[in-house]
């Protein structure tokens, strides 16, 4: 069974048909740059460009980098234009895609669901936290495999700032941090999250997960197991398609 997934990020909008039996992309993904400013209309145009690239005519799952309630309404927009707040993304994107059925989900929640079903969190019980490091830090919290949605733990305060302003992969680039320097920031962030939730497992996703060998071995003092995401930066696409398959 194939369903289309789109992952809206602070820097890119990427998507592809997903083989839900295998939990992998059925075709090579298409990616366009996220427009700046990332207004609802401009981002919707980007989503349409990605979907049209494949000539897709079925259901579409879309992730959003912020809190999504009722599978439609955007409540926060930290790394895109504030005009998204209060927008019914399901209606906006469905109209832009010519009436295709659209399902919208928090981006990290989508990535987490995919990792728990097909990836590093499969068959894991207890408390598992999936963290996506990119333009910001997304989070997905699971207790015995059940998702607690819209946790947005990237906005926990760390040294007087949103954690994602100090420890996201964008922060690494913006401050020209070495892998050692960035790993120390990630370590402090993980220690703070661990103190609050005591997870058995951290799954580290986002684009930087492709280079996990450069920073994960440098992280010390965390009791929980720490592993890279198996689906890496495709987890959001896969999770979006999984959500669209259920229609909720």
Q: Where are the beta strands (DSSP E) in 122-219?
A: 127-133, 137-143, 146-148, 157-158, 161-162, 201-205
- What's the CATH fold of domain 2-109+235-246? Nucleotidyltransferase; domain 5 (3.30.420)
Looking at domain 122-231, what is its CATH homologous superfamily?
A: ATPase, nucleotide binding domain (3.30.420.40)
CATH 3.30.420.40 in the chain: give the residue spans. 2-109+235-246, 122-231
Tell me the sheet residues that pair with 6: 15, 62
Per-residue pLDDT of the chain (248 residues; tens, 9 = 90+): 999 999 999 999 999 999 999 999 999 999 999 999 999 999 999 999 999 999 999 999 999 999 999 989 999 998 999 999 999 999 999 999 999 999 999 999 999 999 999 999 999 999 999 999 999 999 999 999 999 999 999 999 988 989 999 999 999 999 999 999 999 999 999 999 999 999 999 999 998 999 999 999 999 999 999 999 999 999 999 999 999 998 65
How far is the C-alpha of 231 from the C-alpha of 24, rounded, in Å?
Answer: 8
């Amino acid at each position: 069974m194939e369903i289309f997934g789109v992952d809206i990020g602070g820097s890119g909008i990427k998507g592809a048909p997903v083989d839900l039996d295998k939990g992998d992309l059925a075709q090579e993904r298409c990616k366009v740059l996220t427009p700046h400013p990332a207004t609802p209309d401009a981002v919707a145009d980007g989503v349409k460009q990605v979907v049209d690239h494949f000539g897709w005519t079925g259901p579409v799952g879309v992730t959003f980098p912020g809190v999504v309630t009722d599978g439609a309404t955007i409540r926060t927009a930290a790394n895109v234009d504030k005009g998204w707040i209060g927008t019914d993304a399901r209606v906006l994107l469905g109209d832009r895609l010519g009436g295709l059925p659209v399902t919208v989900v928090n981006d990290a929640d989508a990535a987490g669901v995919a990792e728990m079903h097909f990836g590093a969190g499969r068959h894991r019980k207890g408390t598992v936290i999936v963290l996506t490091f990119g333009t910001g830090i997304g989070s997905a919290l699971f207790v015995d495999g059940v998702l607690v949605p819209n946790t947005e733990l990237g906005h926990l305060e760390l040294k007087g700032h949103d954690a994602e302003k100090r420890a996201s992969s964008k922060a690494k680039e913006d401050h020209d941090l070495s892998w050692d320097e960035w790993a120390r920031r990630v370590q402090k962030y993980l220690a703070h999250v661990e103190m609050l939730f005591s997870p058995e497992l951290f799954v580290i996703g986002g684009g930087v997960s492709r280079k996990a060998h450069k920073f994960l071995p440098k992280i010390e003092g965390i009791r929980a197991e720490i592993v890279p995401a198996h689906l890496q930066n495709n987890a959001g696409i896969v999770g979006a398609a999984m959500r669209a398959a259920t229609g909720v």
